[in-house]
Amino acid sequence: MARFMVIMRGTDETDAAFAASGISLDEVMEQMGRFNQELIDAGVLVAAEGLEEASKGVVVDYSQTPPVVTDGPYGETKELFNGFWVLDVPTVEDAVAWAKKAPLAGPGSKAEIRRIPSIDEFPQDNEWIRKERAWREATGQL
């Protein structure tokens, strides 16, 4: 078996269309919950996490020495996502310090840092959050 990360990507137009659609968080969680349950039932789900909104991210740009850090990602859709690290550190500043040490260099080489919200940050009375919590507990993730 091979593992793949499926990354949800969007543009400003995606965000604007979502905002204009009037779809509630409950509706989004219902759709995602059903899909996640389908993945669980098929036995293919290894992990699933959402990222905090991009505006709260940090970019470390390796085009210069030392790397330059800016708030918020400024990526273009033509950029590729090549992998990620998950770091367990107390602050974004600690994550930035580690990212600056990453073996990346050259024009266009960047790391984007975004916090992964815990399941506790989602509405606990939501059916799909309860199911995900039960699954995480059953699989030793909580």
- The 10s digit of each residue's pLDDT in 92-135 is 888 788 868 775 655 566 778 788 888 898 999 999 999 999 99
**Same-domain status, 22 and 39:** yes
In a domain, 23, yes or no: yes
| Number of independent structural domains in the chain | 2
Residue 2, pLDDT score: 45
**Same-domain status, 64 and 39:** no
**Same-domain status, 72 and 122:** no
**Same-domain status, 70 and 97:** yes
In a domain, 2, yes or no: no
Residue 130, pLDDT score: 95
Distances in Å between the alpha carbon of 6 and those of 47, 62, 81, 108, 119?
11, 25, 10, 22, 19
In a domain, 1, yes or no: no
**Same-domain status, 61 and 80:** yes
Residue 11, pLDDT score: 62
Residue 65, pLDDT score: 93
**Same-domain status, 62 and 103:** yes
Residue 134, pLDDT score: 96
Tell me the pLDDT of the chain averaged across its residues: 78
Distances in Å between the alpha carbon of 67 and those of 34, 41, 45, 102, 130?
42, 44, 36, 10, 42
In a domain, 129, yes or no: yes
**Same-domain status, 100 and 130:** no
Dihedral of the alpha carbons of 35, 57, 10, 141, in degrees to the nearest 10:
-10
pLDDT tens per residue across span 58-83: 889 899 999 999 887 665 544 556 55
Higher pLDDT, 107 or 138: 138
In a domain, 6, yes or no: no
Residue 87, pLDDT score: 74
Supply the range of the domain harboring residue 91: 54-113
pLDDT tens per residue across span 16-31: 777 788 888 888 888 8
In a domain, 25, yes or no: yes
Higher pLDDT, 44 or 116: 116
